[in-house]
Structure formats: C-alpha cells, structure tokens
Amino acid sequence: MNREEIIKMEAGKEMVCKKCGSMRRMMLKTGYTQCLDCHNERNCIWNRENNNPRKWNKTPTAKVYRRKWQLNNRYGMTLEEYEELNNKQGGKCAICGNMTDIDLCVDHDHKTNKVRGLLCNKCNVGLANFRDNPELLLAASSYLEKCK
C-alpha cells in the first residue's frame, strides 16, 4: 500500500493533531496531520507573510470586474443591462416581489440561455429544484391548496 492510499484511508478519521494536540478529524491530503483549524491558521499566516494575491479578489474593483465577467460569460449581458432590468423590476424579485440586500439572481432558460428576469435567491433555487417544469410547479401549487 503506497502513501496516497494510506492518506485516503485515514482522511476523516479522528487522530491527535501534531500541532495543537487535540483529538480531531485531520487534514491529511497535503501530508500534514493537522486539524482543520491548525491548517487554516497556517494558511492565513502564509498568506499574510507572502502577500498572497487572492486577497486582492476582495477589493471593490475586483468585485465589479468579476460581476461584469460573470454576467457577460454566463448570460451574454452587460452590467448596464442588468441594472436596467433591475430598475425595471424596481429592485424586487419578479416572483415574490421582495427586495433583498444582495444582488438579485439572473433567471434564464437553460435550453435557450435567454434571460427571463431577476429573482431573489430563494425563488431562483425553487425554480431550479422544480427543473423549470411548469407542470411540476402546478402540481406543487395544487398540492399546497389541497392541504390547507
């Protein structure tokens, strides 16, 4: 049995952390027998000392750039088109009408990739769970009405 197979077998087992000495699940995929907290602490220290560029992804400029990139590559729309659609809906979800503190999700047809509107996260996930199938949504609606 080679080292990689042993690491796969032991991953997730409770062992004594070599750094803090507590009995916890270990992060073994890197070869270090450290608990998750010690592993994360070690990474944070390394990131601070080495000026890791990942931290720059959290700047406002990077967030706007990433949002523009996502809108263009996923839905073929610009940030201005998103803002226009958001203003047209009054900043509210197209289904439930609630306003959220975070950006609304872009709802689109998965077959044609055509944008349908902006939804809150809950409504967007709900449609995804019903696989964009109107018959399933009607069946769920009639079930809820029947159970009142």
pLDDT value at residue 5: 59
| Type of residue at 87 | N
Terminal C-alpha separation, the chain = 60
CA distances 40 to 46, 79, 118, Å, are 10, 35, 36
The runs of H, that is alpha helices, within 50-102 are: 60-70, 79-88
pLDDT value at residue 1: 54
pTM above 0.95, yes or no: no
Sign of torsion, CA 116 69 83 76? Answer: negative
pLDDT value at residue 144: 93
Distance CA 34, CA 12 (A): 11
Mean pLDDT, consecutive 10-residue segments, the chain of 148 residues? 56 70 66 74 78 64 85 93 95 94 90 92 93 92 93
Q: Where are the domains of the chain?
A: 3-55, 59-146
pLDDT value at residue 25: 67
60-70 helix and 79-88 helix, angle to the nearest 10 degrees: 80
Kindly report the CATH class assigned to 59-146. Answer: alpha beta
